[in-house]
Amino acid sequence: LDNDINKDKEIILNSSQLNCLKRITGFIEKPLNHNFLLEGVTGSGKTEVYIRCVEKALEKNRTSVILTPEISLVPQLYSMFRKVFKDNCCVYHSGMSESERYEKWLDILSGKCKVIIGTRSALFTPFKNPGIIIIDEFHDTSYKENSGLRYCTIETALKFCKISEIPIVLGSATPSIRIKYRFEKDKNSSILKLEEKIFKDSKVIREIIDLKKINSFSEDEIITNKLYSEIFERVNKKEKAIIFINKRGYSKYIICSECGFIPKCENCNLSYTYHSVGNKLKCHHCDKEIIFKKICPQCGSKRVMMLGTGIQKVEEKIRKRFPDVSVVRMDSDVTSKKKSHEKILNEFIRSSPSILIGTQMVSKGLDIKDVTLVGVVNIDSMFSLPDYIINERVFQILTQVAGRAGRGFKDGKVIVQTYNSDGMIIRSFMKDNFELFYNDELKMRKNLKYPPYSNLVNIIISGRSYEKISKVSYRLAKDIQKIKNYTECEILGPAPSPFSKINNNYRWHILVKSFDINNFISRFTKMFNEFKIEKTARVLIDVDPYWIL
């Protein structure tokens, strides 16, 4: 990846970085197990601390594993580490071909590669003589495997390091509330803080555009006049801007203005998302696609409207406004091919001015010095999701995407368009105060007995027959109620899941709040082994789910 990150000249650590480094390397020296949460504001130099920790492990001839949540972030991280560790450094992730992974597997097994950088699968490579595990942006939901065998990379790594008697570092500007709270109470865990940006001369201004108070939209009703004027200013200065929107596709859904019909996926009973590329309607849950003829399939009317805003619509508007500027888009629809992430980012980096439009991918770890503006177009759509953890997710996304601006010597600005300007999340974000948000969120969760004051177990029952899975759900809930007499817990449900039908399977769920998780799992396992399940039903048990949708 072409970038100006981490030039060859040696970087001198500041006092906060040196203090964190001293605490961590003490446990690499011995070696002993200890859990470190490295809580550093965006641009505070966490990566430099990681590199020095790996240097210490290499001095002891020990292997280091550094994990990042997305394949798109691997090239950037690898380029930084390779400058220091040369051929000792290798990459491992699922985006590589089978032959490439096999080759690296052998290099790791032989001990040729002692610095392994990758996504969660890199944790399961056959490295020997481990020295330290580092998990960057550990709050990210990508660290949870949500298909097949469900596991949490963070919990797996914590257990591995305990068994191996080595330290682990979990780094983030917006740590998981559950992990932070646990580390505050645990004697074998420490929270280290980096509270200052490396480039102190640059500042980042945060600004809210309150959509309730002003008629601030231009004619396209997606991007406000204020945000457009800020983009124009960056273009004139030949700088870079990032526009964040949390929706793939062109339009959230289609509706017929004659009869009110909304096309829905037959497999999932959820509305299709319109994609302008290929003129398709696509289900983002089962991936079913159909060609859209712009005629209502129910009444035949041509008066169909595209409602809601997707990334393709934002891209179209930006390209129309800035025809001579390099505009690139980054979402899962355009990054499925090998090295597509690097191609997109290289085009963005090499061009000046340039505009990057992206979904959550662009909020994660990008370190590009000339980005002086970040615009958040549609964060409000996330507030409607029926999940206890959504406040945490929104705050994390806002803080992370804001951290892409002003990372060099130039000042940056972050503009958020929202109807929720008075909410605690936005107020905490505007003050750049994670502790304010953290303490307020803890109060809410304590009242409702959500994590970290309990462990959640989400039991999902699915199948083709609605009647059969509802019966299985009620029988299972009745048996779980019997466990309640022997272990402290609360049981919610059974009820249809928020996404009640996916890929032609109906879904019900039972949510358990356990206050003695080991006891509950032990008793539940014994009960479940004797529980008779309909052949057409499937039961999935997710302990500590990242989402309950």
Mean pLDDT by 10 residues, the chain (549 residues): 46 91 96 96 90 96 96 90 94 93 96 96 96 96 86 96 98 95 97 85 85 63 87 94 75 70 74 76 75 84 73 87 92 73 85 89 78 88 77 92 83 89 90 94 94 95 93 94 90 86 89 95 94 89 86
Structure token pair of residue 240: 């870079």
- Listed residue (99, 153, 81) closest to 124, CA to CA: 153
CATH 3.40.50.2000 fits 15-194, yes or no: no
Q: What is the pLDDT of residue 281?
A: 83
Q: Which CATH superfamily is domain 455-543 in?
A: Ribosomal protein S10 (3.30.70.600)
Element (H, E) at 81: helix 74-85
For residue 465, CA distances in Å to 468, 508, 536, 537 come to 5, 11, 8, 8
Residue type, 510: I
Contact 387, 420 (CB under 8 A): no
Burial class (CB in 10 A: 0-12, 13-18, 19+), 386: exposed
Q: What is the CATH number of domain 204-246+323-445?
A: 3.40.50.300
Q: What is the pLDDT of residue 404?
A: 87
* Local structure of residue 383 (DSSP, 8 states): G
Contact 277, 256 (CB under 8 A): no
- Listed residue (254, 253, 250, 284) closest to 267, CA to CA: 284
Element (H, E) at 333: none
Residue type, 431: K
User: What ranges do the domains of the chain cover?
Assistant: 15-194, 204-246+323-445, 253-307, 455-543
- Listed residue (225, 211, 249, 230) closest to 405, CA to CA: 230
Q: What is the pLDDT of residue 268?
A: 62
Task: State the Cα–Cα distance between residues 293 and 297, nearest whole angstrom.
Answer: 9
**Helix (H), strand (E) counts: the chain:** 14, 24
Structure token pair of residue 355: 């505009």
Task: State the Cα–Cα distance between residues 168 and 507, nearest whole angstrom.
Answer: 37
Q: What is the pLDDT of residue 266?
A: 78
Contact 123, 157 (CB under 8 A): yes
Within this chain, domains 15-194 and 455-543 share the same CATH topology = no
Task: State the Cα–Cα distance between residues 435 and 439, nearest whole angstrom.
Answer: 6
Strand 412-418 to 354-358 pairing:
unpaired
Task: State the Cα–Cα distance between residues 475 and 508, nearest whole angstrom.
Answer: 12
Q: What is the pLDDT of residue 509?
A: 92
Q: What is the pLDDT of residue 341?
A: 77
Q: Give 482-488's long-range contacts (Cβ < 8 A, gap of 24+).
A: 482/527, 483/520, 483/523, 483/524, 483/527, 486/519, 486/523, 487/514, 487/516, 487/519, 487/520, 487/523, 488/514, 488/515, 488/516
Structure token pair of residue 31: 């070696």
Q: What is the pLDDT of residue 249?
A: 45
